[in-house]
Amino acid sequence: MGRGRTIARIASIAYAVLLGGLLLATDPFGMLGASGTSLQAASKTTPGSMLQHLTAYILLPPLLYAAAWQKHAPMRAAIVIALAHGLILEWLQQFVPGRYADWYDVLANAAGVAIGVVAVSAFVGAGGTTQPN
């Protein structure tokens, strides 16, 4: 395993854990050093929340693809892992006080994954079905 793949694996795990921490926190803005009712109010609106979820999940597929956790069809594996991550965390939010599960957020996560996949495919060429170097 090359040094670049090791770094990509560490980065993908760290990013997945960061997303999990933010999505399961009772005050994610406080974790980021921000506060205020305007930020929290903006995040509760459907467009604001969807935009946050979409942008958060754009980076996960490229990181997972670069980590190449699976030798055959690494893009498929990246898609499945990223979608499962978003779905599981959204489901877990219903158990966090002050948070709730929302299907619109799941759709926004999936849209972010799709954008990330398109970005990887644009750089890889060949549809992202070959093992990255």
Confidence of residue 29 (pLDDT cuts 50, 70, 90): low
Residue 90 belongs to a domain: yes
Most distant CA pair in the chain, distance: 47
pLDDT above 60 (res 11): yes
- How many structural domains does the chain have? 1
Residue 133 belongs to a domain: no
Residue 62 belongs to a domain: yes
Compute the mean pLDDT over every residue in the chain, rounded to the nearest whole number: 82
Residue 115 belongs to a domain: yes
The DSSP result for 30-47, as a single string, is HHTT---HHHHHHHHSHH
Helix (H/G/I), strand (E/B), else coil: 59 = coil
Q: Which helix (H) or strand (E) holds 131?
A: none
Q: Which helix (H) or strand (E) holds 28?
A: helix 28-31
Q: Say what the pLDDT of residue 128 is.
A: 47
Q: What does pTM read for this prediction? A: 0.79
Domain encompassing residue 23:
3-128
Q: Say what the pLDDT of residue 23 is.
A: 86
